[in-house]
Amino acid sequence: MSAPALVAEAAEIPKVEIPPSSNTVTVRVIDTTTRIRMPVGTMFDPPIKGHTRLASPSYSFLIENEHLGGKVLFDLGTQKLWKEQAPGVVSMIEEFEWDVTVEKDVADILQEHGVPLAAIDAIVWSHSHWDHLGDPSTFPTSCDIVVGPGFLEDCFPDGLEQPEPDCWIKREYYENRKIREIKAEQFQLDIAGFPAFDYFGDGSFYLLNSPGHAIGHISALARTTSNPDTFIFMGGDIANHPAEFRPSQLVPLPALISPNPLHHSSSTPCPGHIFDKIHREGRCNSPFYCIGTWPDGSLTVEDLSTALESHGKLRLVDAQCAQVFVILAHDENVGDVIDFFPKSVNAWKKLGWADRARWMFLGDFKEAVSDYSTEASDTSR
């Protein structure tokens, strides 16, 4: 006899108040061609059988405010000549034996599709880690770099002319161009508990102060339609895998999951309860993973308490399922659902992309659930 179908009731979902506006931006997700193949190790806790390696992309986002004529990039992935990054980055990659491939710089991708680099006003770095910095030197010096609170003090405590010896940010990235740090006091709005900064001043695009993973880490929220309002949440590395914030009390695992994350071609939904056996708490309303540690025992985040606080706010944003589509920088499963640049993702709601992508990450656990239930294979029939 099969186990009873898992039924979980979502907690009452608090409404997230976002300042009203009729202004929108066009959002295009750029596949930067970055692929980082690395062992999961203890990056997430606890280990789940079969999910031993990541093949992580690193998405960039082109945000265009047609009304004001502004174009901004949120993150750049990794530079094509990755072995020419800061020496500390290269030695770390080689020490951990990660396989890194990058076919093109974002500047090349833009130009291939007719976007002049001089039209880009700014590059927003979600944080200071190498797989988001790209190579700003491939852009004109008229293109600013925008960073979050505390970024400059953390990376350049003695000023831009004297970077720390182990700094991951090469001088070429910022030389002869402006780095603008959005100070903590400039984040004067509140969106789902995140201090928010109205970037264009018209309610179309917000930067969100989301520390924890790194000092100065920021996420972003772009209004993709108005009346009704829909948004893209660009997470950066607020989480490295969707299983760090899904499921939750606000968004529990469904009794039946469709499309089937274990067999994409199957028309039969996947029963949610088969994932109970591999869940660290044996329940369907808390994330599968906790924040883990690197092989040397250090945390994979800069500050655990603030990272957990940011995760809690992210779960609230993620619960606004009808309104917000969450895209993490490294969520490879999203890439199987959305259209990449040069196409826009503004019609995500109409196309049902968020619903299709939400539980796709469970496919990473296919081997683990097959140990416990033949239903994992039965769903393909």
Q: What is the mean pLDDT of residues 233-246?
A: 97
Q: What is the CATH number of the domain that holds 298?
A: 3.60.15.10
Asked if residue 257 belongs to a domain, the reply is: yes
Q: Is the pLDDT of residue 5 over 50?
A: no
Whole-angstrom CA distances from 68 to 19, 92, 189, 343 are: 19, 42, 21, 21
Q: What is the pLDDT of residue 39?
A: 87
Q: Are strands 194-198 and 189-191 parallel, antiparallel or unpaired?
A: antiparallel
pLDDT for 6-24, tens place per residue? 445 567 899 999 999 999 9
Tell me the average pLDDT of the chain. Answer: 92
pLDDT at residue 237 tops 50: yes
User: Which two tokens mark 73?
Assistant: 């990039």
Least confident piece of the model among 45-54, 59-68, 154-163, 222-231: 154-163
User: pLDDT tens across 18-61, in order?
Assistant: 999 999 999 999 999 999 999 887 788 899 999 999 999 999 99
In angstroms, the CA 111 to CA 268 distance is 43
| pLDDT value, residue 371 | 66
Long-range contacts of 102-106 (CB under 8 A, 24+ apart): 102/32, 102/33, 102/34, 102/35, 102/77, 102/78, 103/33, 104/32, 104/33, 104/80, 105/76, 105/79, 105/80, 105/134, 105/135, 105/138, 106/30, 106/32, 106/60, 106/73, 106/76, 106/77, 106/134, 106/138
Least trusted range by pLDDT, from 41-45, 220-224, 373-377 = 373-377
Spatial contact of 270 and 379, defined as CB atoms under 8 Å apart: yes
Sign of CA dihedral 30, 32, 37, 42: negative
Closest residue by Cα to residue 118 from 146, 141, 134: 141
Q: What pairs with residue 152 in β-bridges? A: none
Q: What is the pLDDT of residue 314?
A: 98
Q: Are 308 and 212 in contact (CB under 8 A)?
A: yes
For residue 128, the enclosing domain spans 26-378
Find the mean pLDDT for residues 185-198. Answer: 98
Three-state DSSP at 336 gives: helix
Q: What is the pLDDT of residue 8?
A: 52
The whole-number pLDDT of residue 376 equals: 45
281-287: average pLDDT: 85
Whether residue 18 is contained in a domain is answered as no
Give mean pLDDT, residues 123-147.
98
How many domains does the chain contain in total?
A: 1
Q: Check pLDDT > 80 for residue 190.
A: yes
Q: How far apart are CA 191 and CA 141, in angstroms?
A: 33
Kind and range of the H or E run holding 306: helix 304-318
3 lies in some domain: no
Q: Which residues pair with 208 in a beta bridge?
A: 196, 219
Nearest CA-CA partner of 126 in 18, 233, 242: 233
pLDDT in tens, 78-108: 999 999 999 999 999 998 899 999 999 999 9
The pLDDT > 90 percentage for the chain reads 81
Q: Is residue 105 part of a domain?
A: yes
Asked if residue 20 belongs to a domain, the reply is no
The structure tokens 């706010």 sit at 313
* Strand ranges in the chain using DSSP code E only, listed in sequence order: 26-30, 35-39, 44-45, 53-56, 60-65, 70-74, 99-101, 122-124, 144-147, 179-181, 189-191, 194-198, 205-209, 218-225, 230-234, 256-257, 270-271, 290-291, 324-327
177 within a domain of the structure (yes/no): yes
pLDDT at 6: 44
pLDDT at 380 over 60: no
pLDDT grade, residue 373 (50/70/90)? low
Measured distance between the N- and C-terminal CA atoms of the chain, rounded to whole angstroms: 18
In a domain, 10, yes or no: no
Q: Which residue has the higher pLDDT, 299 or 70?
A: 70
| Whole-angstrom distance, CA of residue 335 vs CA of residue 327 | 10
Task: Tell me the whole-structure pTM to 2 decimals.
Answer: 0.94
- pLDDT (0 to 100) of residue 381: 42
What tens digit of pLDDT does each residue of 59-80 get? 999 999 999 999 999 999 999 9
Mean pLDDT of 261-290: 90
Q: Residue 21: inside a domain, yes or no? A: no
1 pLDDT tier (thresholds 50, 70, 90): very low
Whether residue 375 has pLDDT greater than 50: no
Q: Please give the structure tokens belonging to residue 175.
A: 């030389």
